[in-house]
Amino acid sequence: MPRVAVIPESNSPVEIREVAEPQLEADSALLEVELSEVCGTDVYLQQGRLQGVPYPLVPGHVSVGRLSKIRGQMFDIEGRAFHEGDRVTFLDVHHTCNACWYCLVAKVSTRCPQRKVYGITYGLNDGLCGGWADQLYLKPNTRVVRLDADSETFMTGGCALPTSLHAVERGDIAIGDTVLVLGSGPVGINAVILALMRGALRVLCIGAPDYRLEAARELGASDVLNFVAHDEQERLDWLWESTNGRGADVTIEATGVPEAVVAAMRFTRDGGRVVIVGQYTDHGAVSIFNPHLDLNKKHLDVRGCWGSDFSHFYRGVQIISDPVRAHSWLTLRKNLTRYPLVKANQALADVANAKVLKALIDPNDMAVPRS
Ligand SMILES: [Zn+2]
Ligand SMILES: [Zn+2]
């Protein structure tokens, strides 16, 4: 019987359950999970900070594994059939309708009201729909992608890869730009890699703790600053010195702290671009925002960045499967920490406290809890 790690309700610890093997619908499959991930979203899910979550919930919205059983036929976007044994990953977003105003007119499927997300808005009652499990049910019409990279390298990017790919795209980074990344969690770190890949001349990063900033530097950030050790004025001084007193051409906010949104605007040069990707959950309002000084007079282009769609996910998989481009993520692999299913609570705590950069759930590690 499949084993899953479940958040029974908000603010409750994760527990292990055994559940019935799913009945496969036509053109669906069962995935033998090799690795899934623990990200900031999972911490918020456990704390009940996201709206519309159908508990009990099996978290793990980005996962990789092998197709263990296929009923009917499944094809990739090139029209090639999937076979049992193939290593795949899949877009966590399912069921965007391609029939509503957002899908068809605005062309932002990330805002489609029908949108469901594995491990976030599909609960256990919807089936085996989360990656913290040894098996996962791939419903019909799930966007499955063949994976040439090995599981661990792919999961080094994990959900942060399509998210930050979307963010650098929204930032319209030009060759030679100076990019400032606020935040050094997985999204910030991936944004450093992808901003350089997009042609940034220099990437600066303000974050914490130090081990994450060292990772940013190793991946090519030209300078980093620990925000805990420097107050707002010191951060501004540091940035002015690095940008001839102008500020960054593009700033990507990936912090989760509301005040950082205003800081991102102040750190950006007049006429520059600001991408807000770090406010996935509601952490409240900010009172320090000055519409004249922070936005209008600066002639800023401020862009929100919500979720990602298949194009970001697909291109992320291609980039990380390319032997040359994968180099940065291979460098990052030493920052992975694996946890067995039974240590999911520990993984959540370590992510919440920034003790690890990237936490992965390995359902094949059968460690038993210490009594
Ligand atoms: Zn995530
Ligand atoms: Zn729609």
At residue 194, the 3 state secondary structure works out as helix
Which letter does DSSP use for residue 328 in this model?
A: H
Q: Rounded to the nearest whole angstrom, what is the distance from the C-alpha of residue 51 to the centroid of ligand 2?
A: 19
Give the number of whichever ligand sits closest to the CA of residue 360.
Answer: 1
Q: Rounded to the nearest whole angstrom, what is the distance from the C-alpha of residue 307 to the centroid of ligand 2?
A: 15
Q: Rounded to the nearest whole angstrom, what is the distance from the C-alpha of residue 99 to the centroid of ligand 2?
A: 5
Give the number of whichever ligand sits closest to the CA of residue 107.
Answer: 2
Return mean pLDDT, the chain.
Answer: 96
Residue 62, judged by CB atoms within 10 A of its CB (0-12, 13-18, 19+), counts as buried
Q: Rounded to the nearest whole angstrom, what is the distance from the C-alpha of residue 306 to the centroid of ligand 2?
A: 15
Q: Rounded to the nearest whole angstrom, what is the distance from the C-alpha of residue 159 to the centroid of ligand 1?
A: 5
Compute the average pLDDT of residues 84-98.
Answer: 95
Going by C-beta distance under 8 Å and a sequence separation of 6 or more, which residues neighbour residue 107?
A: none
Residue 8 predicted with pLDDT over 50? yes
Q: 147-174: per-residue pLDDT in tens?
A: 988 999 999 999 999 999 999 999 999 9
Residue 69 predicted with pLDDT over 90? yes
Q: 201-231: per-residue pLDDT in tens?
A: 999 999 999 999 999 999 999 999 999 999 9
Going by C-beta distance under 8 Å and a sequence separation of 6 or more, which residues neighbour residue 106?
A: none
Give the number of whichever ligand sits closest to the CA of residue 95.
Answer: 2
Q: Rounded to the nearest whole angstrom, what is the distance from the C-alpha of residue 132 to the centroid of ligand 2?
A: 28
Q: 248-288: per-residue pLDDT in tens?
A: 999 999 999 999 999 999 999 999 999 999 998 889 999 99
Q: How far apart are CA 24 and CA 141, in angstroms?
A: 13
Give the number of whichever ligand sits closest to the CA of residue 187.
Answer: 1
DSSP string, 156-181: HHTTHHHHHHHHHHHTTPPTT-EEEE
Q: Rounded to the nearest whole angstrom, what is the distance from the C-alpha of residue 166 to the centroid of ligand 1?
A: 14
pLDDT at residue 217, as a whole number: 98
pLDDT band at 370 (very low <50, low <70, confident <90, very high): very low
Give the number of whichever ligand sits closest to the CA of residue 37.
Answer: 1
Q: Rounded to the nearest whole angstrom, what is the distance from the C-alpha of residue 116 to the centroid of ligand 2?
A: 11
Q: 293-332: per-residue pLDDT in tens?
A: 999 999 999 999 998 999 999 999 999 999 999 999 999 9
Q: Rounded to the nearest whole angstrom, what is the distance from the C-alpha of residue 38 to the centroid of ligand 1?
A: 7
pLDDT band at 368 (very low <50, low <70, confident <90, very high): low
Q: Rounded to the nearest whole angstrom, what is the distance from the C-alpha of residue 50 to the centroid of ligand 1?
A: 13
pLDDT band at 95 (very low <50, low <70, confident <90, very high): confident
Q: What is the pTM of this model?
A: 0.94
Going by C-beta distance under 8 Å and a sequence separation of 6 or more, which residues neighbour residue 370?
A: none
pLDDT band at 366 (very low <50, low <70, confident <90, very high): confident
pLDDT band at 371 (very low <50, low <70, confident <90, very high): very low
Q: Rounded to the nearest whole angstrom, what is the distance from the C-alpha of residue 111 to the centroid of ligand 2?
A: 8
pLDDT at residue 141, as a whole number: 95
Task: Give the rounded percent of residues in the chain with a pLDDT score beyond 70.
Answer: 99
Q: Rounded to the nearest whole angstrom, what is the distance from the C-alpha of residue 59 to the centroid of ligand 1?
A: 9
pLDDT band at 107 (very low <50, low <70, confident <90, very high): very high
pLDDT at residue 281, as a whole number: 87
Give the number of whichever ligand sits closest to the CA of residue 112.
Answer: 2
Give the number of whichever ligand sits closest to the CA of residue 351.
Answer: 1
Task: Give the rounded percent of residues in the chain with a pLDDT score beyond 90.
Answer: 95
